[in-house]
Amino acid sequence: MEEQFILRVPPNIAERIERLLNENNASSSEDKSLDLQFSEDGRSGTFMIGNEHFPAALLDLPSVVESYKTYDDNSLVKTADIGQMIMVRESGDVAPDVIECRHGLTPPMRDARKRRFRREPDLNPELVSRVEKDLLKIIAGGTVDNLDVEIAEQEGDENARGANKKPAAAPVSKHDVPEPLTNAGDPDRSDSDESDDSV
């Protein structure tokens, strides 16, 4: 597997990068230098092309993107899973305040997190921590603290319900009514079989 990332740049920077990659002439090394440096937080940094510096941010994509390589334009070989994108912006543009990109790479993935993925359920943090502690106790071989109370309450409820119940009446059988016969005694044919055997 190769290490890959997506670099999204403004159109004017994209033209300069394309020009640098397509040039065969040996021009000055300062014009050809590309560099990317990140700060200590790992999410913000600087993209340098030549002597110009542009702010950059590392954003998570809403879904994983697979990249493929081909040698013969016929068969594809998967080379990487890409989950992050480096977004370069102009110096005057506002820095993103989130760590996840709202949109995917293609138009169908616009606002993908909101439109295509299930929302996370609203859970009470106290309930989650209590259940986690109870599970850890059960795994360690212990019992849950509130389990005895709940079992006693359930047994008491069942006894109270049983006292209020009436005995079930026996089903009444019908002796005088004969059961209808289907297919007129022909076991090999169904009611829906209306084929003519005379042909």
pLDDT digits (tens, 9 = 90+) for 114-137: 777 777 778 888 888 988 988 998
Burial class of residue 56 in the structure, from the number of CB atoms within 10 Å of its CB (0-12 exposed, 13-18 middle, 19+ buried): buried
Question: Strand 6-8 and strand 76-88: pairing?
Answer: parallel
Beta carbons of 113 and 75 less than 8 angstroms apart: no
Give 118's DSSP letter: P
List the beta bridge partners of residue 76: 70
Residue 192 has pLDDT above 70, yes or no: no
Q: What is the mean pLDDT of the chain?
A: 76
pLDDT digits (tens, 9 = 90+) for 128-169: 898 898 899 888 887 766 655 455 566 666 665 655 555 555
| Cα dihedral across residues 140, 141, 144, 145: positive or negative | negative
Query: Residue type at 164?
Result: N
Beta carbons of 13 and 86 less than 8 angstroms apart: no
pLDDT of 95: 78
In 92-170, the DSSP E strands lie at none
pLDDT tier at 199 (50, 70, 90 boundaries)?
very low
Residue 185 has pLDDT above 80, yes or no: no
Can you tell me whether residue 185 is helix, strand or coil? helix
